[in-house]
Amino acid sequence: MEANSGIVFYRSDVGMSVKAAPQNVVNTQMATVIGNSEYYISTIEHLLSAVYSYGIDNIRIVVDGSEVPVMDGSSASFCMLLDEAGKRVLDENRKFLIIKREVEVQDGNKFAKVTPSLKPTYNFAIDFNHPVISKQEYKFEYSKKSFIEEISRARTFGFLKDVQYLRSRGLALGGSLENAIVLDDHKILNPEGLRYKDEFVRHKILDAIGDLSLLGATIIGNYESFAGSHNLNHKLTKEIMRDPKNYEIKALSKEKIKELEKVFA
């Protein structure tokens, strides 16, 4: 990939290329979906979360269908594939998106926002009326190493009644205990249990990292959310880009990047 190409998905079955960018998002109901009125690529957020956390700015991702493989419901498999593939450093200064002022979007009591900070963090809280989940909050200080250890293995989750409803409509046919945490009204159905005691809120952070990566540059700022979703994250990216006073895109020199390399290595 050439410098400044960004993250581009290519559907080999229909010969369609689409850039991962806010203006190309066509659906956020159950996953982040990009494309157009004719063709789309769904569930890009878990892969993008890994791509972003590995500091990859330019990549062409080839898929042969309408959905990125869900793997085990986390980003862990994508991290392993990126480790195997490696990356090439291009002869151009790397771009960062610096948050200059607070930007927030809301839906009732739910919200997602970014605020200026030179030390990126993701602070997420959830509150589910379920005995296993209940209230959870996690503050994640962003770095590649911390992402791999604290976030990448957190799986997506869903409720058995919702899965049954979706399947009755011909959806989520590939969903199983192999690629998600599934809960009934009282307990987790996965025999192996959880990977983290607060795996649910950690996965929400994983999603948020992937969703915000559509901004097209490494973000220097804080993200905070209560009961956020793909839809709120998408609205937040659009709101950030709506006013140039909200952010500054800076190409940092190698010397300046060295000051940040512990975070963005």
Q: Which residues are catalytic?
A: 230
The strand pairing partners of 60, in sequence order, are 8
Number of Cβ within 10 Å of residue 33's Cβ equals 21
Half-sphere exposure of 116 (CA within 13 A, CB side): 7
Concatenate the DSSP letters of all residues of 124-168 into one string.
Answer: EEEE-SSTTTSEEEEEEE--HHHIIIIITTPPPEEEHHHHHHHHH
| Distance, CA of 150 to CA of 133 (rounded, Å) | 18
Dihedrals φ, ψ of 42, to 5°? Answer: -105, 160
Helix ranges restricted to H, the chain = 45-53, 76-85, 144-146, 160-168, 199-212, 230-242, 254-264
**Separation of alpha carbons 216 and 248, rounded Å:** 12
153: number of Cβ within 10 Å: 20
